[in-house]
Amino acid sequence: MALPDLAALEADARRELAAASDAAALDGWRTRYLGRKGRLTGVLRGVRDLPAADRPAIGKGANALKGTLEAAFDERREALLRGASVAQAAASVDVTLPARSLPQGQLHPVTLTRRAMEGVFREMGFDIVEGPEVEWDSYNFDRLRIPRDHPARDMWDTIWIDPEDAGGPAEGAEPPPRRLLRTHTSPMQIRYLETHRPPIRVIVPGACYRYEATDATHEWMLTQIEGLVIDEGVSFPNLKGTLESFVHRFLGPDLETRFRCDYFPFVEPGAELGIRWGGRWLEVLGAGMVHPEIIEAAGLDPERYTGFAFGMGVERFAMLRYGIDDIRYFYANDLRFLEQFRGSAT
C-alpha cells in the first residue's frame, strides 16, 4: 500500500484555499480537506491500516498538517471578511445625500451694532480708521492734557503693560514711557492729527480696557467709537446737531436725549449725552470742543481751526438697540443669549 503524500496534499490544499474568494468556496474547501469525508481526514483515518513502522511518522505529520490547514483556513476567512467590509462600506456611501451641516458661527451683537453705527456715520460723511489697542501713556494721557500725577488720570482705571519704574526717574529726568491697554479711543485723535490736515471728519471704532468692577452698565472691556471733526468754523451747535442726528438716525426719532456738562481735560467745554432708558438715563457718550492747546500742538492755528470730538460706548448703544438691561450678558459667552441674534441685520 502506497503511503499518503502529505506534501502533495498540502500543496493542493494551499493552492485551492488561495483561490477561494467567497464563503461558499471556503465552505467547499473545508469539506474537501477537513470534512468528515475530506482528504486529510481520510489520511488520518487510514493511519491505523499502515505498516506499523510508518504509522508514527505519517500520523504525526498528518496531525500537524491538520493544525496548519485549520490555521490557514481561519486566516483566509478573516482576510475575506475584512475585504468584504471595506467593499461594503464603500458601496454604502451615498454621494447624493445632502451634506451634514456643521454648527455655524455668527456675528456678535456688539459687532452687529458697531457695524450699523459705522454705516450711519459713513452716510454722514465720516471716514473710518482704527488704532492700536496697546498704547503709550503719552498718547493715552499726556498729550490729551492728562500729565502724570494729574488727578484726572484717576478717571480711567488703567491696565498697565509695563510696570512703573520702581526706583522712579533720576532727579530731573523724564520718566520712561510705559505701555498700557488703551482706556479710551481718544489717543487716536492725537495720532490722526500727526498725519492728517483739516478738513477732518473721522471715526475710530475699537476695543478699550479698564481695570474696573463690572455692573449692569460697566464692563472691563468695552468698545468705543471715537469721533473727530476739525475744520474752519466748527462750533458747539455742530457738535450737538451731529450727535443728535446720529442718535435719532440710529435708534429712532422718538428717543429722548439729554446733554449735560462734563469734564474731560482734552475738551473745552465738555459734555455728556444721556438717553432715556426705562425710568432713568443711560450715559452713552462723552464729547466736547477740542481743546485749543491740542489743536496748536498738532501744528494748526487754533484761531483758524476749531473742532469737536466724542467717544461713544458701543455696548450701551447695543443695550438700547436690543432692549438689554445688563451689559454683562454680552461677554458671558452664553450661547442661549448670543444665538438670539442669529440672522440679525447689521
DSSP code of residue 210:
-
Other CB atoms within a 10 A radius of the CB of residue 327 amount to: 20
- Alpha helical stretches, state H, 20-52: 23-34, 39-46
Q: Cα angle at 204 between 199 and 207, to 5 degrees? A: 165
Per-residue contact flags (x/-) with ligand YSA for residues 236 to 275, judged by CB under 6 A: ----------------------------x-xx--------
Q: Cα angle at 308 between 304 and 311, to 5 degrees? A: 155
* From 184, 201, 316, 321, the catalytic residue: 184
CB 115, CB 321: distance < 8 Å: no
* From 29, 136, 156, 277, the catalytic residue: 156
The stretch among 71-79, 106-114, 190-198, 279-287 that binds ligand YSA (CB under 6 A) is 279-287
Does residue 298 carry a catalytic annotation? Answer: no
DSSP code of residue 153:
G
Our CA dihedral for 193, 197, 203, 208, rounded to 10 degrees, sits at: -10
Minimum CB separation of residue 153 from ligand YSA in Å reads: 12
Smaller CB distance to ligand YSA: residue 141 or 310?
310
Minimum CB separation of residue 198 from ligand YSA in Å reads: 16
Q: Report d(CA 107, CA 328) in Å as an integer.
A: 17
Which residue has 489520511 as its cell numbers?
43
Smaller CB distance to ligand YSA: residue 10 or 212?
212
Smaller CB distance to ligand YSA: residue 178 or 210?
210
- Backbone phi and psi for residue 319, each to the nearest 5 degrees, phi listed first: -60, -45
Q: Which of 44, 23, 48 is nearest to 35 (CA)?
A: 44
Residue 277 sits in the site that holds ligand YSA (CB under 6 A): no
Minimum CB separation of residue 247 from ligand YSA in Å reads: 12
**Interaxial angle between packed helices 236-251 and 314-322, expressed in degrees from 0 to 180 and rounded to the nearest 10:** 40
38, 206, 286, 307: which one contacts ligand YSA (CB under 6 A)? 286
Does residue 88 carry a catalytic annotation? Answer: no
- Backbone phi and psi for residue 79, each to the nearest 5 degrees, phi listed first: -60, -40
Q: Report d(CA 168, CA 267) in Å as an integer.
A: 30
Smaller CB distance to ligand YSA: residue 29 or 329?
329
Does residue 156 carry a catalytic annotation? Answer: yes
Chain residues 138-197 in contact with ligand YSA, contact rule CB under 6 A: 184, 186
219, 305, 320, 329: which one contacts ligand YSA (CB under 6 A)? 219
Residue 30 sits in the site that holds ligand YSA (CB under 6 A): no
Smaller CB distance to ligand YSA: residue 38 or 270?
270
Q: Which of 161, 141, 163 is nearest to 151 (CA)?
A: 141
Which residue has 462734563 as its cell numbers?
262
Smaller CB distance to ligand YSA: residue 73 or 264?
264
Minimum CB separation of residue 139 from ligand YSA in Å reads: 12
Does residue 25 carry a catalytic annotation? Answer: no
Q: Report d(CA 12, CA 33) in Å as an integer.
A: 10
Q: How far is CA 96 from the centre of its chain?
A: 32
222, 230, 247, 294: which one contacts ligand YSA (CB under 6 A)? 222
Residue 313 sits in the site that holds ligand YSA (CB under 6 A): yes
10, 244, 283, 293: which one contacts ligand YSA (CB under 6 A)? 283
Minimum CB separation of residue 188 from ligand YSA in Å reads: 10
Q: How far is CA 80 from the centre of its chain?
A: 48
* From 201, 210, 291, 321, the catalytic residue: 210
Residues labelled as active-site residues: 156, 184, 210, 224, 267, 309
Residues in contact with ligand YSA by CB under 6 A are: 184, 186, 210, 212, 218-219, 222, 224, 264, 266-267, 283-288, 309-311, 313, 315-316, 327
